[in-house]
Amino acid sequence: MKSVRCIDLCKTYRQGEVEVIGLDHVNLELEEGGFVCLSAPSGGGKTTLLNAIGGLDTPDSGEIWLTGDRIDNLKKSELAKLRLHQIGFVFQAYNLIPVLTARENVEFVMEVQGVPAEVRRQRSLEILEEVGLAGLGDRRPAQMSGGQQQRVAVARAIVSQPALVLADEPTANLDSQTAEHLMELFVELNEHHQTTFVIATHDQRVMGYARRVIRMLDGRIVGDDRREAA
C-alpha cells in the first residue's frame, strides 16, 4: 500500500519581489514503512515538498494523498487534526517546548489527542527508554544536549504511532557522532515500528542510511535511487 502519493504538485511563492518555483509538477509515490531521503541543494524544493506532504503548506495545484485520503483540499482545522493524528515531525531546531520536561514534550501530542494520563505516561517512558533517554524524562530542554533534544523530538514524533514521520534536516545542528547516532535510531525505529520516514537533507552521510533517495533540483524531481541501506 502507498503511504503517500503526490500527483502533479506545483507551488510557487514570493521572496520579496521575486517569484520562486517551490514545486514544479512533482509526481511521487512513497511506500508504507519506507525510509526515504529527499535530497536537494538549498532552495531545491525538498522542504516545500515535505511541508506539503505534512499538511503544513498547500500546493497551488495537484493532489496529495496520505494513506488513501486526499489531503490537499482539507481546511486548516482538518489539516491540524491530520497532523495531530497521522504525522510526526522532527524539525531542524526549536523542536521542543522549553517549559515542558522531556517526558511532557513526548506526551504533548498524546495529551492534545486526549489520551488518558496513565497511558501517556507509560508510553512516553517506554519510548524515552527506546531512544536512549531513560531517566532523563524530568529534564527540561535547556538541561539537555542538542542530540538529546533531537532524540526527545524523535520520541515525540513516533510515540503516537503516526503513519508518517517527516524530518527536516534533523542532523543539521548536530556534530557528526551525534548525527550518526540519531540516524541509527531512525533506522531502528523505522524497522521496529514500520513507520514511514521521509527525511529532507543535503547531508551525504544521512542519505547513506536511506533505502530510497529522491533528488530534487529547482522544485523538480531529477533522480530517484532505490537501494539497500548502508
Partner 1 sequence: MGGLQIILRLAWRNLWRNHRRTLIMLAAIVVGVWAMIFMTALMRGMVDDMVKDGVSVLPGHVQIHHSAFRDDPTISNVIAPPDGALLEVLGRPEIVGWATRVRVPAVISSERDTRGVTLVGIEPDRERGISFVADDVTEGRFLESRDDRGLVVGRKLVEKLETGLGKRVVIMSQDQENEIADRGFRIVGIFDSKLAQYEEGYVFGGESAIQDLLGVGDAVSEVAILGHDYRDVDGLLSMVAGAAGSDVEVLPWYELDSYLGSMLAVMDGFVVVWIVVVFLAISFGLINTLVMAVFERVREIGLMLALGMTPRNILSQIVAEAVLLLVIGLAIGNLAAWASIEPLKGGIDVSIVGEGMEYFGAASVLYPALYLKDVVLANVIVIVLGFLASLSPAWRASRYDPIRAITKV
Q: Least separation, in Å, of the C-beta of 225 and partner 1?
A: 28
Q: Which residues contact 46 (CB under 8 A, 6 or more apart)?
A: 38, 39, 40, 200, 201, 202, 216
User: What is the size of the binding site for partner 1 (CB under 8 A)?
Assistant: 28
Does 85 sit near partner 1 (CB under 8 A)? yes
The span from the CA of 52 to the CA of 56, in Å, is 6
Q: Residue 190 phi/psi, 5° resolution?
A: -60, -45
Does 15 sit near partner 1 (CB under 8 A)? no
Which one, 21 or 56, has the nearer CB to partner 1? 56
Among 1, 42, 73, 114, binds partner 1 (CB under 8 A): 114
Does 65 sit near partner 1 (CB under 8 A)? no
Residues in the chain: 230
DSSP 8-state assignment for residue 142: G
The span from the CA of 124 to the CA of 161, in Å, is 12
Which one, 174 or 210, has the nearer CB to partner 1? 174
| Cell digits of residue 167 | 524530518
How far, in whole angstroms, is CA 177 from its chain's centroid? Answer: 21
Q: Which residues contact 55 (CB under 8 A, 6 or more apart)?
A: 66, 71, 74, 79, 82, 83, 87
Among 10, 21, 74, 100, binds partner 1 (CB under 8 A): 100
Site string for partner 1, 154-183 (x = CB under 8 A): --x---------------------------
Q: Least separation, in Å, of the C-beta of 60 and partner 1?
A: 15
**Which residue ranges make up the site for partner 1 (CB under 8 A)?**
51, 54, 56-57, 76-77, 80-85, 89, 91, 94-95, 97-100, 104, 108-109, 111-114, 156
